[in-house]
Amino acid sequence: MSLPLDRLREIFTHVGEHAAPEGFDPLRGPCWVWMGRADRYGYGKVSVFGKYQKAHRVFYEAMRGVDLRPSQVLDHECRQRLCCNPNHLAIVTSRANTLRGIAARRAFGVLPLPFGGTRTGT
């Protein structure tokens, strides 16, 4: 997807920075927290060309200069669904994304909530 620069700047005004979770590689930078609307699953959403899309996908495509296929999944390696930092996202299969999420819950014993909170993984 090719966004006009002025639209990308406008979208970027809905992003704030927050420190990455403890133990996450600091060289990859802070989380870029989506401050706009979110869908019912906790992912940021933004209107692009009159259609709502996941904010992290829009940022990934714009910053990496790629067009993701609908079947391609981006894993939030920082485990924060509102994060839009392309350095925190990896293209994976749907199965790999699910398995990574399960592994993270087992490793931490909790499900991370956006930026600071947790809830038990049961």
CB 43 within 8 A of CB 24: no
Burial of 32 per CB tally in 10 Å (0-12, 13-18, 19+): buried
The better pLDDT of the pair 110, 102 is held by: 102
The pTM (predicted TM-score) of the whole model is 0.78
* Statement: residue 93 has pLDDT above 50: yes
**Core vs surface per residue 65-81: b (16+ CB within 10 A) or e:** eeebeeeebbbbbbbbb
Q: Which range (5-14, 59-68, 87-96) has the least confidence?
A: 5-14
pLDDT at position 117 over 80? no
Amino acid identity of residue 18, one-letter, is H
Task: Give the pLDDT of residue 119.
Answer: 46
Q: Residue 114: pLDDT above 70?
A: no
**What is the structure's pLDDT at 30?**
87
The CATH-assigned architecture of domain 5-120 is Alpha-Beta Complex (3.90)
Domain ranges of the chain: 5-120
